Structure 1
Amino acid sequence: MFTRSICTTSIAILSSRALAQYISLSPATTVPSGASNYVDPSFAGFGIEPSNLFSFTGGDDTNTFSVQLLQNLADYAGLPAHIRLGGNTQDYMIYDASQTQYKWTANTNSRAQGVIAADSMIIGPAYFKALDRFPKGTPVTFGLNMAYIDNDWEDRIVKMAQGAVDGMKNVKLYSFEVGNEPDLWLKNSFRSAPWTGQTYTTQFLDRCAKLYERVLKPANLPSAFFEPPATASTIGTTFEIAQLVDDGIMTGRDGNNFMTAWNQHDYFYFIGVTPTPLTLDDLMDLDATNTQFAYWEKQVKAALNTGLPYVLREMSSVGPIGMPGVSDTFGASLWTLNFFMYAATLGIQSVQMHMTANSNASAWQPIPMYGSDTSFVRPQYYAHAAVAQLIGNGNGTTQISVLKTSNVGATYSGRIRAYAAYAKDNLQALVLINSKLAEASQDKGSFTFNINLGSANANKDVFLSYLTADGGDSQKGVTWNGLSYDDITGQSNVADATVNVVTADGQGKVSIPIRDSQAIVANIGWQLGVNLVLKPDPTQSKKSSAATTSMPGASNAVYTSIMAIIVALAMVVAR
C-alpha cells in the first residue's frame, strides 16, 4: 500500500527552521546546447582489481550477493553496468590453461622484472568462468599484462587474451586495456629509462598488432578493440593524449586502427599522494571536485577532438582503498551521485568506480571484513541505484545538462548542485543535491529550489525520489527512492512506501526544499522506477547507440500507449 505525501507536508516538517536559503532555476524544456549525448545504460559502472575478482564473484560457489546487486542496476538502467577488470595486479598475471582452481596462485618460478614481478600470479580458465557469473551481457573491459617483457611476451599476452575471448560466454568482452598506468612504470621497475610516451606507443602498437592477428581477427572481432593509455598521473609527463597522438598511437599498423577509446584514471583523493589531509566535509564541498578534475576536463576535450570517446575506467572518492569515516559514509554517496552527473555533462562516455575486497570506498563489501560477520552494502551503492533508475527512465534517450548554482550564499557555497535530465528531447527530471554536511546527531537546515518547469508542465505532478540517510556521516540506514538493499541477499526492500508529490502551479512552478546532506530526483509525471524500461539487445554492436533500439514487435505508438497505462495505474495507486 502506497501513501501520497504532498510537498506542502514536507515544507511543514521543515518549518522549524527558516527556509531563507534558496535558488531559482529555469531549466530549458527541450534539450539545450551543451547537454550530454545519450547516456549509455552501462555508464555508471565499476572497476574490480583483478587479484580480487573471486571475492566479488565467489570461488567454487557463486557470490550471489554481488550478482544480485549488479542485477538490480541492470534492471533499473536497461543494461548491466560496465565492468573494468583491471588495476595494478593485471600486470602481475600470466595465464596457464592447466591452472583450474577458482583462485589465483603464486608463481613459484617467477623471473620477470618489477618491484612485484610481472609474472608473479597465475590464473586459468576458472577465472573467466567466475567472471561469467555476472549478469548476462555485462560489458567488460579486460586488462592485459603489458609489463611482462621476457622473450616469450607475445605468447603470454596472446594466451591471456585468447582465454578472455573463449571464456566469456555470458558476459560480453567489450575491449582490452593493454597495461595499467604505464606512466608509473619507472617507479615500480617495470621499465628502465629511457621510458616515455613514445616508447610506450611503440610497445603498445606491437602488442595490438599481434593480438589482432592471432586472437581478434580469427574471432571476427574488430581491430579497434583497445583502450590506451590507461594512465594515472599524466600531468607533467609525456603520456598526455595530445602527445600520444603526436607519437602516432592512432596510426595503427598494417592499415589497422587499434583504438576504440581513450582510457584514463583518477581519484578525488589518494592517500600517500595527495599532500593535504582529507575530511568528510572536504569531500562534500563539490567545488573541490571541479578544482581537482580541472586538468582531466582538458584531457576529455583533447580526447573528443580526436573523434574517439573518453572513458574514466578507474575512479573513486579516496584511493587506494578508501578512508573510514569518509569514503564509506552517506556523504560519499552524495559525492558519487554528483560526480556521475558532472562526468556525463563533460562528455565522458563511461565511469568505473574502483573496488577491492578491502576498500572502504567499494560500493559493497563482498566478503566479511572490518568487524562484520557478513557482506554488506555501503552508502555509495545507493548513488549507483539512483543513476541507474534515472538513466533507465529515459529508455536510452537520457541526456544530462548542468544548471548554474553559483549564487547560493556563503553558507551553501560549493554545496548545491542541480542537473536537468531529458528524455526523448524533453525535460523529464531534475537532480537536486544539497551536500552541506549535517551529521546524524545534528539539527539540520534545508535549502529550497524554486524551479520554473515551463508552461508545458503547468499543473503536472512532480514525484520526488529521495537519496537520504540520518546524516552525511551515516554508514547505515541509507535509502534511495524508498528502497534499501539487503546486506546478505543484495535484494531491494521497501523501507518507506511514501510517494512524495508536489504539483506545479498554472505557470509550471514548484518549490522543493531539500534537507542538508540529502538529494532528490524530481521526475515529471510519475514516480521514478515505475515506468517501463526498454532493454537493448546485449548482443548488439558496442558501437550502436542504445537509443536506436525499440521494444521487439512494438511500434512507438504502442509503447506510448503502454507507458500511458502504466503511469495512469501508478497515479491511481499513489492517490
Structure 2
Amino acid sequence: MLPQKIIPVGLCGHATLLAVSLLGLVEQTVGQTLTIYYAPGQTPLANGSISTATPTAYDDSLQAYNTATLVEPTPPGPTAMPTAFSLVVPSAVPVGASIQHSGSFFGFSIEMSVVNQVLGKNSSLIQVPFLNLMANLQQRTGRINIRVGGNTQETATLVDSTPDGKILEKDLQAVFGTTNTPPLIFTPDLIQMMRNISDFVNVHWFLGVPFNDTNWRLGIVEAGQAILGDFLIGMQAGNEPDLYSTHGRRPATYNQDDYFNEFGSLIQALEADSNVNASKLLIAPSVSTDWTPESVLFAGTGFIPTYGANLDAIAVEHYPFDNCGVAFPSSLDPVINPQDVLGIYLSHGSALSIVGPYLNTSNIAQTNGFPFYMFETNTASCGGFPGLSDAFGAALWGLDYGMQMAAVNFTTALFHIGGQNVTYNAFTPPPTNESTFHQWSVGPIYYSALVVAEAIGASNTSQIVDLAANNNNTLTPAYGIWENGALARVLLINFANDPTGASTLQVDLSMSGGTLPSQVDVKMLLANSVTQKGNFTWAGQTFGGNFESDGRPIGTDNTAQTTCGVPTDGSSTTPVCRITVPAPGAALVFLAGTAAADDVAGGPSTTFSTSSVTKVVNAATVPPAVLETSNGHGGNGTFQMLQLGSTSQGSFKSTGIQGRTLGVWTALGGAIAAVILLAVRAP
C-alpha cells in the first residue's frame, strides 16, 4: 500500500483553495494517496468537489472587510433633480464666506487601542502604507492633523515597559461600560513612534488626558510635550463627558457643573507639575449628544472666562446615527437597517442637519478667538453601517460634510478610525496574521480627505462658501473656494445614482466680476454606483479594493481639460465652462492655475519603502517524514484543534475552535516539503 498523506481541508477559504490546488500536483509528483479531513460543518459538494475561494476573499466576521452590498437607490428623475443649470460664482470673496482655512482641515482620529496596528509596532517599525497615505495628503496640503485617543484614552496609563516588550497592552478581562472599553497601558515608545512619523511626514498630533477618575495621571502630558515638542497640538480633557454616566464612568447625577469642577481640578494638577507647560494646552468640552456645548461653556462661572488661559480649542464630537444596537445587542439602542438610512446620506441635507446645531458654538469660538474642532466624527458610531459606511456614497457624504463644516467655521474635522471590527475606516491594515500576503484596505473616507485637501489647498488662505446650487437642490451641492481673495476652485457634487446617464449634470459655470480662463482643469471622483465597494477613482487613480493598497495611488492621472467660452448651442451669450458631473460623482474645477500645480503645493511627492522583514520565524521547511505523521489532527474522524502556533513568536492559543486557522502548503519537486503559516486568532 502506498504511504498516506494527510491534508486538513476547510480550515478557511485560503487553505481550501491551496489544498485543492495541490491535490493533483501531489498525486502527479509523488503518486501517493490522500486522506482529507474537514472541519465541522464543512463537507464536499454534491459532485464531490470542494468549495473554493480566491486568495483575497474574506468572510464577514471582521466588519472592516464586510462584503454586504446595499440595493442601489432609484434615479431621482428630472423633477426631483434638474440636470442642467447655471452657476454664477463671484470672482471676489462674497459676504458670508468662511474664515481662512488651513489645508490640513480634514484630519483623522485614531482610537488609541489600535495605534500599534495603524501607526506601527513601535518607534523602529512604522507602517509604510500609513506613511504613504499621509505623504499623499502632505503633498497637497503641507500638513496632517491626527488625534490619538477616543474611549480607550480615558483609562490609558503610561508605564516604563510592558511584560512582553510591546508599546501597548489591553486588559481584555476588565472591559467596562456599554462599549466594552478595555483599560490600556502604554510605554513612552508609543509617543516616540508618533514623533518618528512626524520626522518622515508633517503630522501634528492631539493626545488626551485620562479622565476616568480625578487621580490625574499626567505622564502622557509630560511625555507628549517632551517627545513631540511642537508636533503636539493640544490635549483633550474628557472624551464625551456627557456620556460618562451612561457608560458607567460617573454617577447618574453627573452634570455640566461636575465636569466644570473636574476640569478646574485638572488644571490645578497640571500647573503643579513642573514637567508640564499648562498654558493653552487643553481641548474641551468634546460633548456629543446628551449635552449641548453651550450648557458646558456657560456652566459654573463660565468656562471660557474661568479657564481661557489653559484652553487651546473648543471641541465637539458627533455621529449622525449609531449602529450600537448591532454592535452591542444588550444596549437599549434600536437596530437600524442601513438600507433604510442610505438616502439620508445621499443628500446635502445630512451635512446641513449635522452642522446646524453647532452654528452658535462656532460663533462663540470665533468671538473668543478659539479654534473650533469636530474632534471625532464619521458615518455612524459603534462601527458604522456595513454596505453604507464602506461604499462610494460615504465618500460623497464625507466630501460634502467636510466642506460644509469648513463653510461654517469649524477649523478642523477629524474622521475616526477604529480597528478591524468597524466599517467606516479611512484606511485599515490587514489582520496581523495576514500581513505577509495582504496589503491595506483604503476606504471611501480617505478619498473624501484627498478631494477636500485639493479643494482647500495648501495656501492657508482658503475661504469656503456653500453656493446653494441648482436652486439649493439637496442632490447637487456645490462649494466655492477663494484663495488670497480670488476665486480659485469650485466643487460640484452629484449624489444621484443613475447607470443610464440620464442624471448626469451639465453645469454652466460662469464668473461674475472677473474673467473666466479659456480652459480649466477638472478632476473627477467616480464610481459606478453609490453602493460600490472599493476601486473608486480620483482623477483616474485608485487605491483598489480590500487588501490591495500600499498607500500609493494606482494608475495614471487623467485630469481633464474643459474649454470655456460662449456656448455654440445658443444657451448663453456669456462665457461659461460647461462641466459634466456623472451620477454619482464629484468634480473639482481649477479656475486659478492648474491641477498639477495644486497637487504638489504642499511639498514634494514622497513615497516610502521598507526592507524590514518581521515574519522571519514562519518560513520553516518540514521534512516529509514529519509531515506524514504530524499534521492530520488525529485522523480519528473528529476535528480536534492541536497546539498550532500563532503568528506572534512566543504566543500560543489553545482555546478550541475560536479562531481562524490558515494553512499554506507548497509542493516542492519530487518530494513533499511545506512552508507552514498557521494563525490562531482569538475573536
TM-score (norm 2): 0.67
Aligned letter for 1:398?
S
Q: Equivalent residue for 1:548?
A: none
3-state SS of the aligned residue for 1:198? Answer: helix
Q: Equivalent residue for 1:225?
A: 281
Any conservation in 2 of the 1:90–1:179 contact (CA below 8 Å)? no
Q: Equivalent residue for 1:4?
A: none
Q: Equivalent residue for 2:410?
A: 348
Q: Equivalent residue for 2:492?
A: 432
- How many residue pairs align between the two structures? 497
Q: Give the distance between the partners of 1:301 and 1:362, measured in 2 at CA.
A: 31
3-state SS of the aligned residue for 2:197? Answer: coil
Q: Deviation of residue 30 (structure 1)?
A: 0.4
Q: Give the distance between the partners of 1:64 and 1:292, measured in 2 at CA.
A: 35
Any conservation in 2 of the 1:499–1:527 contact (CA below 8 Å)? no
Q: Equivalent residue for 2:444?
A: 379
Task: Sort the Cα spacing of 1:108 and 1:265 in 2 relative to 1 into closer, same or farther, 3 A.
Answer: closer
Aligned letter for 2:129?
F
Q: Give the distance between the partners of 1:118 and 1:379, measured in 2 at CA.
A: 26
Q: Deviation of residue 495 (structure 1)?
A: 3.6
3-state SS of the aligned residue for 2:298? Answer: helix
Any conservation in 2 of the 1:49–1:354 contact (CA below 8 Å)? yes
Q: Equivalent residue for 2:563?
A: 502
Aligned letter for 2:591?
I
Q: Equivalent residue for 2:453?
A: 388
Q: Equivalent residue for 1:24?
A: 86
3-state SS of the aligned residue for 2:455? Answer: helix
Q: 2:323 aligns with which of 243, 262, 271?
A: 271
Task: Sort the Cα spacing of 1:369 and 1:463 in 2 relative to 1 into closer, same or farther, 3 A.
Answer: farther
Identity of aligned residues (%): 21
Task: Sort the Cα spacing of 1:501 and 1:222 in 2 relative to 1 into closer, same or farther, 3 A.
Answer: farther
Aligned letter for 1:207?
L
Any conservation in 2 of the 1:444–1:515 contact (CA below 8 Å)? no
Task: Sort the Cα spacing of 1:318 and 1:500 in 2 relative to 1 into closer, same or farther, 3 A.
Answer: farther
Runs (5+) with no aligned partner, structure 2: 1-77, 325-332, 567-572, 605-683
- Cα deviation per residue 1:217-268 (whole Å; 9 max; x = unaligned)? x56x46111111111114xx4x532543342322446xx7211111110012
Q: Equivalent residue for 2:159?
A: 96
3-state SS of the aligned residue for 1:281? Answer: helix
Matched, 1:362 2:362: no
Q: Equivalent residue for 2:672?
A: none
Q: Deviation of residue 391 (structure 1)?
A: 2.4
Task: Sort the Cα spacing of 1:109 and 1:159 in 2 relative to 1 into closer, same or farther, 3 A.
Answer: farther
Which structure has the larger Rg? 2
Q: Equivalent residue for 2:205?
A: 140
Any conservation in 1 of the 2:516–2:591 contact (CA below 8 Å)? no
TM-score (norm 1): 0.79
Q: Deviation of residue 399 (structure 1)?
A: 1.3
Q: Equivalent residue for 2:145?
A: 82
Task: Sort the Cα spacing of 1:525 and 1:198 in 2 relative to 1 into closer, same or farther, 3 A.
Answer: closer
Q: Give the distance between the partners of 1:507 and 1:338, measured in 2 at CA.
A: 29
3-state SS of the aligned residue for 1:261? Answer: strand
Matched, 1:62 2:126: yes
Aligned letter for 1:120?
P
Q: Equivalent residue for 2:245?
A: 186
Within a 5 Å distance, the mapping from 1:377-526 to structure 2 comes to 377-392=442-457, 395-405=459-469, 407=471, 413-438=473-498, 445-454=503-512, 456-485=514-543, 487-497=548-558, 499-505=560-566, 507-526=574-593
Q: Equivalent residue for 1:566?
A: none
Q: Deviation of residue 119 (structure 1)?
A: 8.6
Task: Sort the Cα spacing of 1:512 and 1:258 in 2 relative to 1 into closer, same or farther, 3 A.
Answer: same
Q: Give the distance between the partners of 1:387 and 1:240, measured in 2 at CA.
A: 26
Aligned letter for 2:410?
I
Task: Sort the Cα spacing of 1:24 and 1:206 in 2 relative to 1 into closer, same or farther, 3 A.
Answer: same
Q: Give the distance between the partners of 1:270 and 1:388, measured in 2 at CA.
A: 27
- Cα deviation per residue 1:336-378 (whole Å; 9 max; x = unaligned)? 1111110011010000000012221111112249999432112
3-state SS of the aligned residue for 2:451? Answer: helix
Q: Deviation of residue 459 (structure 1)?
A: 4.8
Q: 2:297 aligns with which of 216, 240, 244?
A: 244
Q: Equivalent residue for 2:654?
A: none
Task: Sort the Cα spacing of 1:496 and 1:74 in 2 relative to 1 into closer, same or farther, 3 A.
Answer: closer
3-state SS of the aligned residue for 1:260? Answer: strand
Aligned letter for 2:254?
W
Task: Sort the Cα spacing of 1:398 and 1:293 in 2 relative to 1 into closer, same or farther, 3 A.
Answer: closer
Q: Give the distance between the partners of 1:491 and 1:511, measured in 2 at CA.
A: 32
Task: Sort the Cα spacing of 1:298 and 1:24 in 2 relative to 1 into closer, same or farther, 3 A.
Answer: same
Q: Equivalent residue for 1:43?
A: 105
Segment of structure 1 superposing worse, 383-392 or 423-432: 383-392
Any conservation in 2 of the 1:460–1:508 contact (CA below 8 Å)? no
Task: Sort the Cα spacing of 1:444 and 1:382 in 2 relative to 1 into closer, same or farther, 3 A.
Answer: farther
